[in-house]
Structure formats: C-alpha cells, structure tokens
Structure 1
Amino acid sequence: MIFDEYYIKSLIRSVHDWPAPGVIFRDITPLFQSPKAHRMVIDSLIQRYVDTEITHIAALDARGFLPGAVIAYALNKPLVLLRKQGKLPAETETETYDLEYGQATIEVQRGALDPGNSVLLIDDLIATGGTLLAAATLIRRLGAHVYEAAAIIDLPDLGGSTKLQDANIPTFTLCAF
C-alpha cells in the first residue's frame, strides 16, 4: 500500500480549544478507526526502520503506545514505555518538561535500557518538542543512544522538530500541519 499523506491528513481531526483555550489538538483516533489508514501509517513506519541498527522502541504515554507497540512487534524489538509520573512500578528515572499548555513529568523504569542500546522514540506528534526532549534525556541518562524521534504529525510552527534537531536528535514525521 502506498502512503498517501493527503488521505492521512484528511482523517486527523482538529479540536479547537482543547485541552486549553487557544490550543488546536490534532486527534489521531480517526486514523485508528480506519483499517486502511492504520495500516498505511504503521507500514510506512515499519518500512523506514526495518533495516536499521535500532535495538529498542520507546513509546511515549499514551498515544505513542498505539504505533509503538505495533512497530516493536513487527520489528521484533523490545518495547520500552515512557509513562506519566506515578504509572510505573519499581524504581524509575524521571524528567519534568514544559508542554504547549502546561508542565508534565515522564518516567522510565531503571534497567529498561542498557548502555549502547540504540532507541527509536515514537509519539503521535511533535509539538513544542518537550515530551520527546524529556524522553531523550531519560534514554541518555540510562546510557542509551537516541536513533531518531518519529511521529505521525509534526506541528512545525511550534518549533519542536527544530529543538530536537538542535539537540542532535534526528526526526521523522509522516505529515505536518
């Protein structure tokens, strides 16, 4: 199946003033309600990473879990979950960061990665870059390397993909708004 950016973009719902006034939330759930779109998105990401040296897939809570789990399964790679604070058992590393509309903290379990691992970060979108930068900080703290940050959507006007590239984190997205 050939990737069709216009088709994918037509299914992404824009929700104005959510979760805060002035924010346009890009809702990917319609992509997963369409088997054709779901397959198109996942297959495109799998094909990009099938012949790379990545050792782990790290998916961000919560919408990054949707593509991340499927990609990890398809590529036969371990899945590392980066979760909102207080959601992981056992000892964790934490990182607080700024959002487009507030502040949040993510965690990863200690021992989820080893020094030298090459990690693909997966999320639904890149906005201000805060979540992915925090995730990269955690991955590096565990001694692993960030291979690339991938998402379905880039919101370039918010500057996140530029911040990631400035932090030496390559990025890849399927479409931009």
Structure 2
Amino acid sequence: MDLKAHIRTIPDFPKPGILFYDISTLLAHAEAWRETVERLADAVRAYRPDVLAAIESRGFIFAAPVAYKLGIGFTMVRKVGKLPGAVVSHAYDLEYGSDTLQVAEGLVPAGSRVVLIDDLLATGGTAQASVQLLRKVGAEVAGAVFLIELMGLKGRARLDVPMTTLLGYEGG
C-alpha cells in the first residue's frame, strides 16, 4: 500500500512557504492506519526495545498501538509542565531559541533498551534532545523510528543513533 497516497499536503501552513504533511487523512483511513502501525512495529521490533519513548504529541498516536502490538510499554517525552510528579528535564537550543523536554522520573529503568518514535523528523533538534534526555535517565537508546522524514532539512545528520523512516520527502 502506498502510504503517501493517504497523507494530505497543505501548502502555506502554518505559514507561507511551508508545505505541511497532514497525517490526519492517513489516521482516518482504517486500512492505511493499520498498515502504518504494522510497518512501524516491524521497524521498531528490529531494534529489540524494552520500552518505547514517544515525543509529544503526535508521537503518542504511534507509540500506543506499536507498544501494544509489541507487548511493551511506552513513556512520554513532554514539554515543561505537562507531567505530574517528579520529572527529569533536559534543556536544548532550537534554531530560534531554546526549549526543555521532560520525562517522568522512574518510568524508564536504567539500562533499558529504548526506541524513540515520532511522526516526523525535520531538523532533528527535538529528536536528538529526546535521545539525550533518555540517556540522562540511564536508558540505552537503541534507535529512532519516524513515519516521515523531511530529507532536505538533514535532521538525520543530527541524530547519533540508528534510525528508520517509513516515508521520505525531499522538501523541507
């Protein structure tokens, strides 16, 4: 099945000059959604994870069914103030400023093999910061899996873990 046929492109969103790849049309198509989960699960399985880590918020959409299918749990990588209780934080620089990511303390056992999952790899800044945060809590980040990679933005070069993407687009 051609998954790209189920992803709508929207020009000039969220601002002029940006071509937005809208996954909501893929999620709405039952067969395409099922096939996407199967392919993502196969890609994740190859890294032999103990747990998945998903980047806020669209990564959660993919992590939940993949983790369920593989019989493993997943933890959420979130922005500041979104997680209750004790958290571990990691601040990082973006192209135009800085941000901080957090995970709940104690949900990723030290030494766990973790695979990071998200919908989109663009510049790679948030993905690499997530890898660093997971290492901070003692995880072994075995790899990263993305539905879409915007290859023109060269985010792959920023990641220092093996990675797999299902769909690549030249734009960026």
TM-score by length of 2: 0.89
Contact residue 99 and residue 128 of structure 1 kept, 8 A: no
Q: Percent identity?
A: 38
Pairing 1:39–2:31 present: no
Pairing 1:158–2:162 present: no
Contact residue 52 and residue 67 of structure 2 kept, 8 A: yes
Matches of residues 120-131 of structure 1 in structure 2 within 5 Å? 120-131=115-126
| Aligned residue number for residue 141 of structure 2 | 146
Pairing 1:170–2:170 present: no
Q: What is the aligned residue count?
A: 169
Gaps of 5+ in 2: none
Shift of 1:161: 1.1
Q: Quick one: distance in 2 between partners of 1:23 and 1:97?
A: 24
Does the C-alpha gap of structure 1 residues 13 and 104 become closer, same or farther in structure 2, counting only changes over 3 Å?
farther
Does the C-alpha gap of structure 1 residues 98 and 153 become closer, same or farther in structure 2, counting only changes over 3 Å?
farther
Matches of residues 77-88 of structure 1 in structure 2 within 5 Å? 77-88=72-83
Shift of 1:99: 5.0
RMSD across aligned C-alpha pairs, in angstroms? 1.8
Cα deviation code 1:81-112 (max 9, x no counterpart): 11122110012122234556765332111112
Does the C-alpha gap of structure 1 residues 171 and 29 become closer, same or farther in structure 2, counting only changes over 3 Å?
same
Contact residue 47 and residue 142 of structure 2 kept, 8 A: no
Q: Quick one: distance in 2 between partners of 1:74 and 1:50?
A: 10
| Aligned residue number for residue 137 of structure 1 | 132
Matches of residues 36-75 of structure 1 in structure 2 within 5 Å? 36-50=31-45, 52-75=47-70
